[in-house]
A and B are shown apart, each in its own frame.
Chain A
Amino acid sequence: MSAQTRAPRDAEELASGHLTATREDARTARRRSLALLGSLLRPVQARAWATVALVVLAQAAQVAGPALVAVGLDRGLPALRAGDAGPISLVTLAYLATALLGGLLTAAVVRVSAQVSQAVLLDLRRRVFRHTQLLSLEFHERYTSGRIISRQTSDLDAFRELLDGGVTTLATSVLTMVLTAISLAVLDWRSGLVLLVAVVPGIVLTRHFQVRSQEQYRRSRTASARLIVRFVETMTGIRAVQAFRRERREAGRYGALAEDYRATSNAAIRLHGRFDTGLTLIGNLTVATVLLVGGLRAMNGDLTVGTLAAAVLYARRFFTPLAQIGMFYNAFQAAVAALEKLSALLAEEPSVAAPVHPVPLPAARGDVRFEGVEFGYGDGPTVLPHLDLHLPAGHTVALVGETGAGKSTIAKLLARFYDVRDGRVLLDGVDLRDLDPRDLRRAVVMVTQEAYLFSGSVAANIALGRPGATRAEIEDAARAVGVHDVVMSLPQGYDSPVDKRGVRLSAGQRQLVSFARAFLADPALLVLDEATSSLDVPGERLVQEGLSTLLTGRSAVVIAHRLSTVMGADRVLVVHDGRVLEDGSPGALVEAGGRFAELHAEWRASLR
């Protein structure tokens, strides 16, 4: 990202240490991330504890094996020698039973922990998806699609690592350590004290690892997001990349980011390696210390050699699961870094907020008012300085003006893609900010120049206008805009997949499909923003015929460059620099001899 970009994108990037990250920010981020983790785990609490219980039982069944062998050899064998096969049969049967039980329990742990982890992941996926859909366009314009995708894929994977292995290993390891420590304390509490001493360097090491790895994993998350952003952008623009021979250069840029990502992952792995080594070292040296202290006491006769042997072995066993706990902690750190990114995304407030007390508008008429509206994008320059406008219901109003005049901006305010800085926009007398979003979407539909099709069938793409529409209704909508024949010529008709972004259709056909959506949606107010720009003249005419039936008694705001579209409107507004310069019926404006009259003359001339 170069220095020319606007202000810091968001708190998230601040916290990632790439810009001036303060410790406060880092701490807030971590706290928020842990809060998210807590809220994700709460609903599965019961099952999570059940998993832990299963782990404990499975562990117990496994420990029982060697004990039974000992009993078999110590009791069963003498008894059998004495002619009594009872004890050894009993032991064998008991062993068989624990074997089966242990296997069943371990298998159950695998299942239940997968259920828990998948439930949590599904919950998180849904939350992130819902939230990104709620966030306003202003957010999407600065966050980039690649980063949202990286949140939903790579960050989620990092979190998943923790859920998948983490909890079971942690439970097993902690259990082993606790049981061993208790045994040791009971056996010889003085040796137990030596273990306590080891806790000090252990805490220092862990703290060191925590701070460093937290930073490292944050970096790693950012590096992976950048890699994904680049990947997505290059693949989306692959046509231009190939046509302008930018392959080598794109490969170079991507390669550099891939190396960044490698370096950060590598550093994180090495950090974990050092942590692991440190833990092993502390454990082993503690065992040597227990031996030394115990040995000295044994020399003085304060300790029997047998007890010493047992104490040393216990100490050794105490530290064995430490590597696993280290692994868990490592996965935890990676997951926290990922959750930091995710929670930052979830903490974004939609700048176009849903109303607290939504006003319903079940049957909108389509009467629009702009009252003293001032607007600009983000904190950028003012685009509409002061707009007062009344568009009565039932009229078709055309907006004309140069590119950049602010026509689309007016349209987007109407559809409440953004909120005004000052003044208000009213639909049927209700401020858009108070209107129930569902009623608003039902009442106002906007079709833009970019006809985005989703992968899936043609029918599904049209049905987006009104989910649940019947096939007949879908076909009627397609017929109305003149795309029915085209669709029927596809191999599977309406069920034909359109492929990525609808590449199987020509640009004009894609526009027709998105028109069909609007037909199906059947709104009270239809906003068309250069929606016919890629259509040929006959196609446009057909759409217009369809529109004129659709629009009878309805309101429409049409933005078009071709006057053929504009001349059919009831009223024309000429927009310039965010202000309305001329306002009247097309005929009247041509008469009046202003800008519109000029445009009209040019257009007439171009037809010859």
Chain B
Amino acid sequence: MPSDPGGAVPAPSAPRRVGAVVSRLGTWLRPVLPRLVLGGLGALGASLLALAVPQVLRWVVNGPLIGGGNLSAVVAAAGLVALLGVLEAFLVWTRRALIASPGTTAEREMRTALFDHLLDLPIAFHDRWAGGQLLSRSMSDLSMLRRWMVFGLVMLVVSATTVVVGVVLMLSTSWPLGLVYLTGAVPVIWLGFRFREDYKVIARRARDQAGDLATTVEESVHGIRVLKAFGRGEDALEEFAQQADELRGTEIVKARTLSRVTFALGTVPEVVLALTLGLGVWLAARGAADLGDLVAFFATAAVVNAPVERLGQLLAMTMDARAAADRFFEVMDTEPALTDPAHPLPVPPAPPGGSRVELSGVHLRFGAQQPGARDVLDGLDLVVEPGETLALVGLTGSGKSSLLGLVPRLMDVTAGSVRIDGVDVRDLRRADVRAMVAIAFEDPVLFSAPVAENVLLGVRGLGEDEALVRAEQALAVASADFVADLPQGIATVIGEEGLSLSGGQRQRVALARAIAARPRVLVLDDPLSALDVSTEAVVTQRLRSMLAGTTTLVVAHRPSTVALADRVAVLEDGRITGVGRHSELLATHPHYRYVLTALAAEHAEPAR
């Protein structure tokens, strides 16, 4: 299976600094900050208490027990220890209880914000971005961010605080030894910085590769029929395995980088301590240091070294979170190229005779086109008169589907304008345009929902019974009698999670959906291509009477579909080169004849 890791992902934006990431995350952190801080304090309290308890034990054993040796003193001491134990458990509980829900809440908020943003981004964005990349952002990246917010960030603060407090204590205990210990910070900071630089690149790569892997899985499932038809399961597996192996390689490089910093953070403080031990003993031997100070110094050092060592893991987690945040914001920061206007015009009143669609001087160019190539639509003019049905005919790849997408504003023109009843679609809210225009796509898209719901997708504000009637009418026009034979009739769940339908059946449901919306403008992209001849004849006849009065633009590949139309427009080289009745064009327009009639092959133009 061909794959193109990374190819479908736009180049990563410049990585952000951790501080910038935190401030961006602020939007989601702020509402939960109080609980997060309280929970953090709980964590700090619990860990301080955990440090204090051994001291208390020592004091209790040495004090009351040695001193009195009476029953009440023993019970009191045990009671005190039990009380402290309960308090510690309570602090553990508060921390968990306080932090858990803000973390998951923030995660959910980010997840739905991402989803909402994706729904707002235009088709062009979705065409460019691989599915797995979006999915991995919404799932694993956001869950990484949550774990970092509630654990990584909190522990980073707690550990750093512990280290600073500990070092201050050590300096105050013995400043020469403390200074020696501090010199260890120089290589640690330098290595930490190097590590950050190396690790952030790899962390990002690992996440991107995981996204690509998800894409491959998605495609291998969506394309399962092709893979089976060609018996390419093994090849697909090989390719997937290779990609998964690359990810494994990256993860191992990541671990190697981490192991370097783990080594540094584990070794340097201990090496420095070994040196301070020699120095301390030397100082003590010369009477320049006190033995008690030395003991206290090393006891504190033992406490400080643990969080220093932990810093490596926490730093790595922070870098991972940062890569996740970068990936998340990359999508969030993509401004929709197609937006509602700042000052939308009101929807023009529906003219009694039907709406008029006017395309003037329309240019359309895709970013991915060859530089010198002609625009797909190259200064095209076309008018669909109120109430008429206009067929659009052209060779495959001539730009018919692209043109259709301009009317409900799924795409924007590069130049020129599309007007409905005199108003440029770009001056209207997207929702308003799309309420006026209903479309049936070339590849029918069904959702996992009952047939009725699929058909009523574009219908608003009808009661349940009326809606059902509407759906049944639309299905009747699309000649979808098969629906009645489904196990639960119109309530049968279809789509991925429901019953599978054949191509022709799907196409008819999609057609019914466009019809049911009762739009002012109906746009049909080759709506009968998967129908057999007799079904097609029935649908054509019903559709024709239903379309009377609705302005309709229909792409046609076959003469039988053209029969739906009042007039036909020929799309050739990005322009409309002829408009007229089928018979007129057949007689006068050689390209039309070439495109549409198999019988007229002799008069055909030479190859394209």
Contacts and interface: CB of A to CB of B under 8 A. Distances in A.
Given A233-B448, A446-B229, A507-B401, A258 B505 contact: no
A607 B599 contact: yes
Nearest to B122: A242
A540 B395 CA distance: 11
Interface in B182-239: 210, 213-215, 217-237
Contacts of B70: 299
Interface string A274-310: 1011101101110111011001101100000100110
Nearest to B480: A403
B281 A4 contact: no
B140 A539 contact: no
B24 interface: no
Nearest to A80: B285
B33 interface: no
Contacts of A563: 533
Interface in A375-412: 377, 400-404, 408
Nearest to B394: A536
A491 B369 CA distance: 6
B465 interface: no
A88 B502 contact: no
Interface in A189-235: 224, 227-229, 231-235
A104 B270 CA distance: 12
B596 A537 contact: yes
A441 B230 contact: yes
B126 A500 contact: yes
B123 interface: yes
Given A244-B457, A244-B458, A455-B130, A73 B291 contact: yes
Interface residues of B, number: 200
Contacts of B267: 99-100, 102-104
A464 B226 contact: yes
B539 to A, nearest CB: 11
Contacts of A157: 139-140, 143
B100 interface: yes
Interface stretch (B15-23, B91-99, B167-175, B573-581): B91-99
Contact of A438 (B8, B231, B369, B447): B231
Given A129-B237, A229-B497, A403-B531, A457 B271 contact: no
Interface stretch (A22-30, A37-45, A116-124, A359-367): A116-124
B463 interface: no
Contacts of A291: 57, 60-61, 74, 77-78, 81
Nearest to A507: B442
Interface string B501-538: 01111000000010001000000001001111111110
A546 interface: no
Interface in B37-64: 50, 53-54, 57-58, 60-62
B270 A463 contact: no
A66 interface: yes
Nearest to B284: A77
Contacts of A312: 57, 61
Given A2-B493, A65-B302, A449-B503, A235 B126 contact: yes
A258 to B, nearest CB: 5
A535 B442 CA distance: 12
A486 interface: yes
A500 to B, nearest CB: 6
B273 A95 contact: yes
B608 A447 contact: no
A570 interface: no
B326 interface: no
Contact of A239 (B410, B535, B607): B410
Given A92-B275, A255-B112, A403-B502, A114 B255 contact: yes
A125 B244 contact: yes
A237 B131 CA distance: 12
Interface stretch (A131-139, A170-178, A422-430, A579-587): A131-139
Contacts of B309: 106
Contacts of A524: none
Interface in B1-23: 1-4, 7-8
Interface string B535-570: 111000000000000000000011110010000000
B251 A536 contact: no
A246 B435 CA distance: 11
Nearest to A240: B445
A415 interface: yes
B342 interface: no
A288 B85 contact: yes
A73 B136 CA distance: 55
A125 B69 CA distance: 65
A118 B248 contact: yes
B220 A129 contact: yes
B345 interface: no
Interface string B571-590: 00000000000000000000
B254 A146 contact: no
The prevalent SS among residues of B at the interface is: helix
Contact of B233 (A100, A134, A603): A134
Contact of A273 (B82, B96, B219, B368): B96
B384 to A, nearest CB: 18
Given A295-B74, A499-B127, A73 B294 contact: yes
A337 to B, nearest CB: 15
Given A125-B244, A404-B482, A437-B231, A76 B497 contact: no
Contacts of B252: 111, 114-115, 118
A562 B448 CA distance: 31
A115 B264 CA distance: 21
Interface in B252-308: 252, 254-256, 258-260, 262-264, 266-267, 270-271, 273-275, 277-278, 281-282, 284-285, 291, 294-295, 298, 302
A463 B397 CA distance: 22
B412 interface: no
B473 interface: no
Contacts of B96: 269-270, 272-274, 276-277
A259 B112 CA distance: 9
Contact of A538 (B446, B563, B604): B604
Contact of B557 (A69, A320, A536): A536
A103 B295 contact: no
B601 interface: yes
Contacts of B232: 441, 464, 467
A237 B595 CA distance: 31
Interface stretch (A148-156, A180-188, A548-556): A148-156
B597 A154 contact: no
Contact of B434 (A111, A242, A403): A242
A258 B498 contact: no
B161 interface: no
A402 B256 CA distance: 63
A353 to B, nearest CB: 14
B230 A308 contact: no
B462 interface: no
A57 interface: no
A408 B547 CA distance: 31
Given A129-B236, A270-B100, 8 more contacts: A4-B493, A152-B217, A238-B118, A258-B115, A287-B85, A464-B1, A505-B397, A538-B608
25 contacts: A69-B298, A91-B278, A104-B267, A110-B258, A149-B132, A224-B139, A233-B495, A237-B447, A246-B457, A266-B104, A269-B103, A273-B95, A284-B81, A291-B60, A299-B69, A309-B62, A377-B500, A403-B532, A449-B503, A456-B4, A499-B368, A538-B604, A539-B395, A599-B533, A607-B597
Give the 8 A-B CB pairs with smallest separation, nearest first: A284-B85, A441-B231, A460-B2, A508-B396, A273-B96, A456-B2, A103-B267, A114-B255
